[in-house]
Amino acid sequence: MDPKSNCRRILAAVRAIPAGQVAGYGEVARRAGLPGRARLVARLLAGNEDPRLPWHRVLRSDGRIAFPAGSPSWQEQVDRLRAEGVEVRNGRVRVAGPRGALDAELWGPGRR
């Protein structure tokens, strides 16, 4: 599989996350047709320069923000999520379910 194609598909999957909703790195990878390649997703986001890309909607599978708590990037992600109406408590999006639940579904503002 051509790496460039993978890159495009992953970025497309990220762009496909609706405002106000979030998805896990692994989830994004699966939607891009690359199961098990969450790290690749993380790598792409880390190197991304496109300001239109909604990178802040991508979280770890447990609902926590991937950056070290309190870091500038962490803060920015929290702010961006809240600006879209996503509830964030202690760097974590509300998650009621087993570990990895984020990877099983997508949360929207209406859900508990």
Partner DNA sequence: TGCGTGACCCAGG
Partner DNA sequence: ACCTGGGCCACGC
Of the candidates 10, 11, 13, 37, which one interacts with DNA according to CB under 7 A? 37
Size of the site for DNA (CB under 7 A): 30
The answer to whether the beta carbons of residues 24 and 59 sit under 8 Å apart is: yes
Of the candidates 9, 20, 42, 80, which one interacts with DNA according to CB under 7 A? 42
The answer to whether the beta carbons of residues 24 and 60 sit under 8 Å apart is: yes
Min dist. Cβ of residue 24 to DNA (A): 4
The answer to whether the beta carbons of residues 22 and 58 sit under 8 Å apart is: yes
Map the footprint of DNA across residues 50-79, applying CB under 7 A. 55-56, 58, 60-62, 66-67, 73, 77
Is 82 a binder of DNA (CB under 7 A)? no
Binding site for DNA (CB under 7 A): 3, 24-27, 36-43, 45-46, 48, 55-56, 58, 60-62, 66-67, 73, 77, 99-100, 102-103
